[in-house]
Structure 1
Amino acid sequence: MLASIPRKTVTLFAILYCHVVVARQLPLPQQAEQTMLKATRYMADSVSTHGGYVWYYLPDLSRRWGEMEAYKTMIWVQDGGTVSVGHMLLDAYDATGNEYFYQQAERAGEAMIWGQSNEGGWNYMVDFAGDRSLKKWYATIGKNGWRLEEFQHYYGNSTYDDDVSSDAARLLLRLYLEKFDPRYKPALDKAISFILKSQYPNGGWPQRYPLKHDFNKAGHPDYSSFYTFNDDVIWENVFFLIQCYETLGESRFLEPINKGMNFYLLVQGKNGAWGQQYDMNRQVAGARTYEPADYLPRYTFNNCLLLLRFYRYTGDRKYLAHIQDAKWLEKTKLPERMTQNGKYTHPLYVNPANDKPIFVHRKGANVIYGYYYADTSDARLLGHYPGKSYINIQYLKDEYAKISALSPKEVTHDSPLMPGEFEGADIPQTWYHLSREEHAENEPVSEAGVKVIIDRLDSRNRWLIKHGQSCFRRAVE
């Protein structure tokens, strides 16, 4: 199983993925490297906080944001921040061999080690001013995040939401494997132990760990200890452990990997559907106040595709047995009048009791005077959370037909979990390019797109972008 370049970060660093050019008299590869060096030096020398980053900065650096506004002493762990930059810098080092990129990746790794919890995980952010400052942030900025309810309460523990802890651990794994530097092994081992220890005996994972139960909101129980599929918590942990098994080669990873895969079958509904969270009785549960205790067609579709992947990994046909049960996806399609001329096929939520669509809305202006509510009307849906989605059921059917037709021997030919001789070049530790994606690929960039990017580099070696990645994508198309 080969993994490729990580997803682009949503910071000023994002543009570096293109290997852009500036000194036009040089051949393209050298131009790219020179541009990358200039931009990286600016970010490292002028923007970085002890090797770490948030998501966005004003040009004068007077204010900065992760998913919410941050103190100047903060860095963000969540995708788009320090971990994403660290991965990108390692990619730059792998592409060029230039030690400066590796040195800056080391700084990002050192920032992650500094911010690692005693148990081995990470929170969304790290505050170099310490616990006192972080609690102040939660009590002022965090508590006013209306939709961002995960920031309204200071737990003092670590999170798997948005791949926070597992991707930070992956960065340490990459740093360790890059040069087999023993400095990273203790923090890596600590992170791996955290992931293994926090797994429930039945194979699921909570959203946060160590377990806490002290944030009940508007009559909703604290969901952070629930078995969590939301934002792929369980899959991301399973995938990271698979990457550890591939590169570190320790048999101790196999049992938690298999337990994690089996958990998908354990909680699948009789109708073939899944919810985002499950309580300790394995009943579908809600989370944030705009996430009701309902089934989700989108998660059902994605989890069925994962079951097909688990069959490829193991050759065990039990993972195929209930995919056909997801005919529920056909049953829960939106009525034509709600599809916006075919743009959408399914609601985000479906009532488990009657398979009717559920839509979430909100009233008010802020966290104090506002609230969320759910009903069956698709008018005035949330702007920050999609109320509908497009699901390609035919693709699932085709994948099922193709993969289920293969014998266990055929389907596991390239499995990372089955016994077999390593067939890659060199050794596994240097062969696999670890990423959040199983088979991520670089997006092609035209020379014209590269020239546009060159022209937008300012005199201080910055790219100032107005609307995040949208401007970046338009620039390179």
Structure 2
Amino acid sequence: MSLDRRSLLTATAATALAAALPALAAPTKDAVLATMRRATAFMTDKVANRGGYVWSYLPDFSRRWGEMEAYPTQIWVQPPGTATMGHLFLDALHATGDEAYYRAAENAAQALVDGQNPSGGWNYLIDFAGEASTRRWYDTIGKNGWRLEEFQHYYGNATFDDAGTSESAQFLLRLHVEKGDRRWRPPLDKAIAFVLDSQYPNGGWPQRFPLKDEFHHHGLPDYTSLITFNDDVAAENIKFLLMCLQALGDERVIDPIRRAMDCFIICQQPQPQPAWGLQHTVADLKPAGARTYEPKAFVTHTTAANIGQMLTFYELTGEEKYLARLPEAMDWLQSVKLPPEQAHDGKAWPTFIEIGTNEPLYIHRKGSNVVNGEYYADKNPAGTLIHYSSFRKIDVDGLRKRYAALKAQPVAELAAKSPLKLRGQPLPRYFSLGEVSVSDLNVGDIGAKGKVTDDQIAALGAGLNAEGWWPTELKATSHPYSGDGSPTPAPGDYSQTRVGDITDTSPFIDPKPAIGISTGAYIENMIAMIRWLGAK
């Protein structure tokens, strides 16, 4: 997942800014609308590349980044990228009625359509300069990102990782039903077909599709064809298919939804370890490894996430089979909790649990770059990675309470409001204001996620600079590509750093961050103003 590039001017930070400035006049609706228009005009007219976006830019556009440094010809699909911006534009349209936001959403959609893989899904990024440029990026910047193993090969296919394909598909669905514009139906149909075609008969999905058997990953068989729970791959696909059922009445998706939900059941392992891994083998449904710092093991946060998903599946169906073995999984989670003296920064669960022993596995690395470096697992909790935590915080009590509440609720009430029974229902009007979960697809309350104060909104208006962007610390940076790494480790200890030696192109936290343009800052500040408008 990405490093955090939070804006200095989100609702919380805007409060601090407001306190540091002289008293600001209370914002008016017209002033807020003008701030939104001016900030959006800068993004669409100065920042966008054929309607698409990456995550951050230096003010002179000499460098730009998604999860890794990007070429000027590239846009990012992985959130918070082009589809995230498209959702925000539609939200702004609903909040203001200004058709300029609809045009911005159309441009974002066209950028995604122009970069849609022939299979119907999307890669992490789109390069408008073509295949040769994409391959050059993967052979240089991507190849040398030591910790970003998912970028070290160019597969030429599409990915479900990090919700890029799911978010893009959801955005095209939203745009299609917004005004019934048939222009978006063919790429939407391609996306639906991609989700259906890539599903295994047992209901699971691979991380990437079409499958590519020729790749090996650090000497191991490639992991991208395995059944994937990591980063909510299955959950995001189920959510998209439910949206298609709800908004389009497309009954083709019912059986795939059912099989996908049942895949969670069949992948839960037997006692004495009734848990899940990040990924599972297709043939025998056993936990499997993924990236080299994701060993073959049971995974506590994935197990907790899957418990949560199965509680949601029970809400959707009222079928007891989704609850039947959850107490076992919750008891197992409780059994592998570390004693208080071994907790790490308040995180009391090991990320990885060894198969067969229930003992924690901890992840370390040695070397200085992708060529000479190596990740490995052992049982020593000292000196673990900082870019991928060996410890997790898990709310088992919260899962138990939700389980008990659902058990106490009459099944008939659940079945009556299930999205599986709904057809032709509108999608939520707002997607950016909070997570859209499977269980609340029929709710879209603009004021639902906390109050935004007048002072915060006034600070946002005051913080927008003369060019029309919010100056933001770009806390994540990276070494420019300077050649492949050396087989000989560079001097120094890189075992607990985000980045290796000077040849490592992975992003890291800049101790002296540059001020620049952040897509995430724009999105967060626009969300704050949309919430403020909705409360008036």
TM-score (norm 2): 0.81
- Indicate how the Cα distance of structure 1 residues 159 and 100 shifts in structure 2: closer, same or farther if over 3 A, else same: same
User: How many pairs does the alignment contain?
Assistant: 459
**Which residue pairs with 2:368 in the alignment?**
365
Q: Which runs of 5+ in 1 are unaligned?
A: 1-8
The one-character-per-residue Cα deviations of 1:206-260 (angstroms, maximum 9, x if unpaired) are: 0000001222123321001000001010110011100111111121111000110
- Counterpart pick for 1:402 among 393, 402, 405: 405
Matches within 5 A, 1:89-168: 89-168=89-168
2 CA distance for matches of 1:25 and 1:243?
42
- Counterpart pick for 1:329 among 307, 311, 333: 333
2 CA distance for matches of 1:354 and 1:453?
53
2 CA distance for matches of 1:13 and 1:180?
38
- Indicate how the Cα distance of structure 1 residues 323 and 82 shifts in structure 2: closer, same or farther if over 3 A, else same: same
3-state SS of 1:359 partner:
strand
**Which residue pairs with 1:6 in the alignment?**
none
1 CA distance for matches of 2:384 and 2:197?
39
Does the aligned pair in 1 maintain the 2:44–2:104 contact within 8 Å? yes
Given residue 71 of structure 2, which amino acid in structure 1 is its aligned partner? Y
**Which residue pairs with 1:437 in the alignment?**
436
Q: What is the deviation of 1:26?
A: 9.1
**Which residue pairs with 1:179 in the alignment?**
179
- Indicate how the Cα distance of structure 1 residues 286 and 431 shifts in structure 2: closer, same or farther if over 3 A, else same: closer
3-state SS of 1:361 partner:
strand
Given residue 280 of structure 2, which amino acid in structure 1 is its aligned partner? Y
**Which residue pairs with 1:60 in the alignment?**
60
- Indicate how the Cα distance of structure 1 residues 116 and 39 shifts in structure 2: closer, same or farther if over 3 A, else same: same
Does the aligned pair in 2 maintain the 1:349–1:358 contact within 8 Å? yes
- Indicate how the Cα distance of structure 1 residues 17 and 232 shifts in structure 2: closer, same or farther if over 3 A, else same: farther
Q: What is the deviation of 1:158?
A: 0.3
2 CA distance for matches of 1:363 and 1:14?
38
* Structure with larger RCO (C-alpha < 8 A, sep 6+): 2
**Which residue pairs with 2:235 in the alignment?**
235
1 CA distance for matches of 2:182 and 2:14?
30
- Indicate how the Cα distance of structure 1 residues 464 and 27 shifts in structure 2: closer, same or farther if over 3 A, else same: closer
Q: Which runs of 5+ in 2 are unaligned?
A: 19-23, 476-517, 529-536
Q: What is the deviation of 1:455?
A: 2.3
Q: What is the deviation of 1:125?
A: 0.4
Q: What is the deviation of 1:56?
A: 0.8
3-state SS of 2:256 partner:
helix
3-state SS of 2:107 partner:
helix
2 CA distance for matches of 1:275 and 1:246?
31
1 CA distance for matches of 2:14 and 2:193?
36
Q: What is the deviation of 1:272?
A: 2.2
**Which residue pairs with 1:463 in the alignment?**
470
Given residue 369 of structure 1, which amino acid in structure 2 is its aligned partner? N
- Counterpart pick for 2:350 among 347, 351, 356: 347
3-state SS of 1:448 partner:
helix
Does the aligned pair in 2 maintain the 1:11–1:81 contact within 8 Å? no
**Which residue pairs with 2:496 in the alignment?**
none
Q: Is 1:374 aligned to residue 377 of structure 2? A: yes
Q: Which moved more, 1:205-214 or 1:375-384?
A: 375-384
2 CA distance for matches of 1:19 and 1:416?
38
- Indicate how the Cα distance of structure 1 residues 202 and 144 shifts in structure 2: closer, same or farther if over 3 A, else same: same
Matches within 5 A, 1:297-312: 297-312=300-315
- Indicate how the Cα distance of structure 1 residues 19 and 387 shifts in structure 2: closer, same or farther if over 3 A, else same: closer
Q: Is 1:295 aligned to residue 302 of structure 2? A: no
2 CA distance for matches of 1:197 and 1:350?
33
Considering only aligned residues, what root-mean-square deviation do their CA atoms show, in Å?
2.8
Given residue 272 of structure 1, which amino acid in structure 2 is its aligned partner? P
- Indicate how the Cα distance of structure 1 residues 16 and 52 shifts in structure 2: closer, same or farther if over 3 A, else same: farther
Does the aligned pair in 1 maintain the 2:353–2:361 contact within 8 Å? yes
Does the aligned pair in 1 maintain the 2:470–2:521 contact within 8 Å? no
3-state SS of 1:455 partner:
helix
**Which residue pairs with 2:318 in the alignment?**
315
- Indicate how the Cα distance of structure 1 residues 15 and 37 shifts in structure 2: closer, same or farther if over 3 A, else same: farther
TM-score (norm 1): 0.90
Q: What is the deviation of 1:444?
A: 2.7
- Indicate how the Cα distance of structure 1 residues 474 and 197 shifts in structure 2: closer, same or farther if over 3 A, else same: closer
Does the aligned pair in 2 maintain the 1:19–1:36 contact within 8 Å? no
**Which residue pairs with 1:222 in the alignment?**
222
Given residue 143 of structure 2, which amino acid in structure 1 is its aligned partner? K
- Indicate how the Cα distance of structure 1 residues 152 and 14 shifts in structure 2: closer, same or farther if over 3 A, else same: farther
2 CA distance for matches of 1:340 and 1:166?
33
Q: Which moved more, 1:467-476 or 1:102-111?
A: 467-476
Q: What is the deviation of 1:25?
A: 7.8
The one-character-per-residue Cα deviations of 1:12-66 (angstroms, maximum 9, x if unpaired) are: 8996999999xx8896322221111101111111111000000010111111000
The one-character-per-residue Cα deviations of 1:92-131 (angstroms, maximum 9, x if unpaired) are: 0111010101101100000000001111111000000010
2 CA distance for matches of 1:143 and 1:344?
32
Q: Is 1:392 aligned to residue 379 of structure 2? A: no
1 CA distance for matches of 2:419 and 2:8?
32
Does the aligned pair in 1 maintain the 2:279–2:288 contact within 8 Å? yes
Given residue 289 of structure 1, which amino acid in structure 2 is its aligned partner? T
The one-character-per-residue Cα deviations of 1:345-379 (angstroms, maximum 9, x if unpaired) are: 20011111100011101112211221111111111
3-state SS of 1:289 partner:
coil
